[in-house]
Amino acid sequence: MEYRRLGSSGLIVSALGLGTMQFGEAMNVGRLDQQATNDMIKFALDRGINFIDTADVYSRGESEILVGSAIKGIRDEIVLATKARLPMSDTNFNHSGATRVNIMREIEASLRRLQTDHVDLYQLHGWDSNTPLEESLRALDDLVRQGKVRYIGLSNYMAWQAATALGIQHEQHLEKFVTAQMYYSLVGRGLEHEWIDFAKYSGMGILVWSTLAGGFLAGKYSRNQPPPAETRFAEAGQFVPFDKELGYDVVDALHAVADRHGATPARVAIAWAMAQPAISSVLIAARRLEHLDDNIKAADLKLTDEDLRELDAVSNPGIPYPRWMVLQLDQAEDPRPKVLEPERFTDGGPWQDLRRGPNTTV
C-alpha cells in the first residue's frame, strides 16, 4: 500500500481509503450488516488501508454505528473521517445544514455512534447557501479547539466557494480546511477545470469519491449488455451523471489497458485516479470482499505513459472558458515559462496556441 499526506497536514493516510456508504440498510447501495462490516473493515486494514470515511447521513446513522462497533479496540490504529450537513430528519428542518446548531448536534451524535471521543477528519458534506459561511467555519474551529475534531475538510464545493472559505479562515485565524472530498472519474473529469489547480495552489488534498462512477467503470457493462441484476448500478440507477456513449468508449479503453497489465477495468480506473495530481486518497467501496480485494490491488498497478495518454484521449472532456484562456495567456503568449521551465516545452509544449491555428504548438 502507498501512503500520502492528508492534504497540507502532517497526517499520513493510505492512498486508498475505505468508503462506507454500503454499510447499513437505508441507502440501497449495499445493505451490509454488522458481520459483513466487520469482515470488510478487517480485510481492508489487513491490506494496509488505514483511512475510513463515513458520514452521518449514510443510512441515517447506521453506517456510523456499524463502523463504530467494527473498530472498537483498534480505534487508534485508524484515521477516521465523517461528515455532516445533509438532512437527518424528514420533519425537522433544523436537523440539516451547516449551521452552528446542526454541526454541534451532529458531531456529538457521530461520536456516540462511532464510540469514540474524536474524529480525525470532520467534513462539511456540501455548501450551505442558507447559512452564513462564517458561522459554519467558526463552529468547525470550535470543534478543533475542543478536541472533538483533529482536522477539517469540505466536500462537493465549487472552487470559488472553497477559496472564499480558506480566505476567511486565514483572515480570522480559524482552523483551515485541509481536504476536499470530490467526485472524480474517467467519465467525470470536471474537477480538472479549476479544482485540481486550486488544490495544488492551496495545498488542499483531494479525496476522491465514486471513481468507478457508481460501478459503471467496473467494465461489466457495454452497449449490448445492460447492468446485471443485483449490481449497484442496476438497483440504484445512475449514481452520477455522465454521457453513456462516452462511457462505453471509456470502458473499451479500460479493457484494452487492463488486458496489457493482466488487470481488471476497475483496477485501471482506480489506478488512473491515484496517478492524478493533488490526490491524497481514493475512496473505494464494495459489497463483496472479492471486489474490495480487486480494488485494493490498484495500489500495485503502475500505469505507463502510454496507458495514461490512451485513457486521457478517450475521456478528454475538452477545456472550457476561462481555463483555456488562462493557459493561452500563461503558456502560449508569455515567453517566460519557456525560459524558466524549458523542460516542459521539450515536446512542443503543454498547450496549443489557439490563436495561431490548431496545429501549432509553443
Residue with cell 491524497: 280
Other Cβ atoms within 10 Å of 60 Cβ, number: 17
DSSP 127-185: --TTS-HHHHHHHHHHHHHHTSEEEEEEES--HHHHHHHHHHHHHTTPPPEEEEEEE-B
| 123's grid cell | 467534513
Residues ≥6 apart with Cβ < 8 Å to 342: none
Can you read off the three cell numbers belonging to residue 180? 476536499
Q: Which residues of 98-118 are buried (b: 16+ CB within 10 A; e: fewer)?
A: bbbebbbbbbebbbebbbbeb
Hey, what's the cell of 360? 501549432
For residue 12, the surrounding DSSP H or E stretch is: strand 12-14
Is 92 in a helix, a strand, or coil? coil
Q: Could you say which of 58, 122, 151, 221 is catalytic? A: 58
Other Cβ atoms less than 10 A from the Cβ of 340: the count is: 8
What's the Cα-to-Cα distance from 48 to each of 67, 69, 116, 121, 170, rounded to whole Å? 17, 20, 22, 19, 35
Per the annotation, the verdict on 58 as an active-site residue is: yes
Residue among 295, 265, 294, 301 nearest 283 (CA): 295
Q: Which helix (H) or strand (E) holds 103?
A: helix 100-114
176 close to 166: Cβ distance less than 8 angstroms: yes
Q: What DSSP character marks residue 228?
A: P
Active site residues: 58
